[in-house]
Amino acid sequence: MSNSYPIARVVLDTRLPQLDRLFDYAIEPGVEVTPGVRVKVPLRSNARFAPGYVHSVVDNSEHKGKLAPLAEVVSQAQVMPERLYDLCDEVARRCAGSISDVLRLAIPPRYVRVEKAWLSREESPVPAGEEADPAAALEVATWEGYAGKSAEDMLEPGTRWSLSTPYGVVEVPQGATVPRSTMPIVSLAATALSRGQSTIIVVPDWRDLESFQKALESSLAPEGLAFLHTQQPPAQRYQNYLRTLQPQPVVVLGSRHAIYAPVSNLAAIVVLEDGDEAHREPLAPYPHTRDIATIRAGHDNAALIFASMTPSYAVRRWIDMGYVAPVAPTSSSRAKVVPTALTTSHDSFSSPARLPSLAVLGAKEALTRGPVLIQVFRAGYSSGLACEACGERGMCRECHGPLRLPRQGSSPSCAWCGVTVSAWSCQECRGSRLVPRGQGIGRTVADFGKTFPGVTIIRSDGEHPVASVGAQPALVVATRGSEPIAQGGYCAALLLDGPAMLSRESLGTLEDTLREWERAVALVNPDGTVYLTDVEGPPALAMSAGNHDQLVRLELSERESIRLPPAVRIASLSGPASDVAPIVAAVIGSCAGVSALGPVPLGGGVVRTILRFSYAQGAEVARELKAWRNKLASGPRKTAGERVKIVLDNPHSLDALTSE
């Protein structure tokens, strides 16, 4: 049956997978509808209206019956341009998810007052040169030290790079100290902006956001910047998102959601430390910034730059394949790294117990010149407790989680459920006394206070975050990832707990450890020394040489032989065995070459199975998994929520298997 009115094709903002398609609605006379605007539409299944976005306005529909009219045009702001829809659609297909879930990640919630102000702004072009001042940027962050590659080379459309960032810190004109690694990226963004092009910079956490924001604000005018991250007030985040919809070029800085910013004339996408787990989205359909950036660069024909101290395993594999080109500084300002286990046969004294005398002497000498960084593995007072008599791990009676000492003198508590344990007895030997089996930051601070009396000790962790410290002598004890930036750089650093970091039962243990070590080394000035304690073998040699290529290539070769990521793609299926089993059988039956690991019981009748498949099979497997996801959502228990959790390309899904 034909419809006499124009037709709006609408994508619904819904969490129901079975509604993951475009719906047609009639546009009644007098209603102004343009693609990308927010609308409300009726659903026949119940008496309510659903929010959505207009994908397009067309003249004909494949629907044979009479179309329902749009219920309401919420706003005339075109917040979902076609380029954003196309990106989100491909991300959803790669992840076997719904496009509405991806759009929910990409488009911030609406704030009416902000939107009205944006819509009513005067349509006047920004005078030439006021978007940013490239000359100011070139004074601060000139592109230098990368032999054979200019900033223009790096911004060549369609190119892909692995950019090794420089070590050390630098002071920007406003007086703030930032990592030197920000400088080449700021220079690239300034060069692109001077040519009337946009840049998107995606960083893993708030410390990187703060450093890059200071560096960018020291180099570029405010009109050329837009910040997009979840720590902003929601109204400000929405305002900055609307800024990226304008045709003027802009440099976007933000956390993982910034990758979707619908800027015009995109020159480059920069992903900082793509191996950091913060780049993995915890919400469905669980995409990774690295994969979205690869898709986005292809859509916009933009340069794609992975910036890091050392490439992630995925990027290293691409380098070896010739898919990504490495670019490194011509000279290194990396501090000297001394693995103490390779330089001393015995210690005349050792206090704290895990600190060799060589590191103690080095720290004392460095404290005469400035601050010293102490990197530890875990927060809390103790990393774990064990029975004094038999050594059995202390476990919570309620949930069987590990027991910890939050602070000196406190009672043990569970790291999982938080229950405090007043009276404990060992299930093996009936012992009643718990002793630390490791040392957290609390105990480290206490021990260093005894070893270095009179020295200022600064603690930085998740509960006590410190962004920066001065140039005065002090011991800065920080958990990995929480290291403050020191004015002028640290004079020395001690990397503790290496064996504990390397002994974790996780597929990403070595990769994560090398990255955290190098990020700490980068905060030490070139004349300083870094002491890596109690670590031997290839990791110690690689850190001493400042080159991880051979070590990483060896692990990649091993993963290739046993079919582990990133050599292959994986899909994790978690849910009731009765639901998971038929999906696994169907995928293996329809996609030749797919293999399964598991099922592994996760408790409560839930199991996990891992599917392994080649990159060439990715689209086929994702389609099959999405079809099953929609089938389960439409079944007799369709109101029961997500019955099987499907996550693609998360190597940590294998950790449940490695811990068995």
Q: Could you please report the per-residue DSSP string of 39-102?
A: EEEEETTTTEEEEEEEEEEES--S--SPPPBP-EE--S---S-HHHHHHHHHHHHHTT--HHHH
Q: In the Cβ-directed half-sphere of 585, how many Cα atoms lie within 13 Å? A: 6
Q: Helix, strand, or coil here: 62? A: coil
Residues in the chain: 660
The pLDDT tens digits for 169-193 are 999 988 899 999 999 999 999 999 9
Give the β-pairing of 198-202 and 251-254: parallel
551 versus 332: which is more confidently predicted? 551
Our CA dihedral for 408, 411, 415, 419, rounded to 10 degrees, sits at -150
Give the integer Cα–Cα distance in Å for 426 and 434.
9
pLDDT at 642: 77
pLDDT at 63: 86
Q: Which CATH number applies to 7-78: 3.40.1350.10, 3.40.1440.60, 3.40.190.10, 2.10.260.10?
A: 3.40.1440.60
Domain boundaries, the chain: 7-78, 134-327, 336-383+438-555, 568-658
In sequence order, which residues have a C-beta less than 8 Å from that of residue 339 and are 6 or more positions away?
Answer: 532, 535, 536, 540, 541, 543, 544
What is the average per-residue pLDDT within 201-206?
96
Our CA dihedral for 548, 551, 554, 558, rounded to 10 degrees, sits at -110
Give the integer Cα–Cα distance in Å for 313 and 298.
21
In sequence order, which residues have a C-beta less than 8 Å from that of residue 540 and are 6 or more positions away?
Answer: 339, 341, 342, 532
pLDDT at 654: 86
What is the average per-residue pLDDT within 368-383?
81
64 versus 536: which is more confidently predicted? 536
Residue type, position 651, single letter? P
69 versus 462: which is more confidently predicted? 69
pLDDT tops 80 at residue 335: yes
Under the banding of pLDDT at 50, 70 and 90, the label for residue 137 is very low
How big is the chain by its Cα radius of gyration, in Å? 27
pLDDT tops 90 at residue 311: yes
Give me the chain's average pLDDT, please.
Answer: 88
CATH class of 134-327: alpha beta
Q: Is the pTM of this model over 0.85?
A: yes
pLDDT tops 60 at residue 127: no
CATH class of 336-383+438-555: alpha beta
Among the residue ranges 26-30, 278-282, 572-576, 640-644, the one predicted with the least confidence is 640-644
Asked if the domains 7-78 and 568-658 are classified in one and the same CATH topology, the answer is no
Under the banding of pLDDT at 50, 70 and 90, the label for residue 350 is very low
498 versus 44: which is more confidently predicted? 498
Fill in the DSSP letter of residue 69: B
Fill in the DSSP letter of residue 374: E
Give the integer Cα–Cα distance in Å for 553 and 194.
39
Residue type, position 391, single letter? G
pLDDT tops 70 at residue 208: yes
The pLDDT tens digits for 409-443 are 678 887 666 678 878 888 778 788 877 655 667 77
Q: Which fold has domain 568-658?
A: Alpha-Beta Plaits (3.30.70)
pLDDT at 462: 84
Question: Can you list the alpha helix ranges (DSSP code H) found in 69-195?
Answer: 82-94, 99-106, 112-119, 134-140, 151-154, 182-194
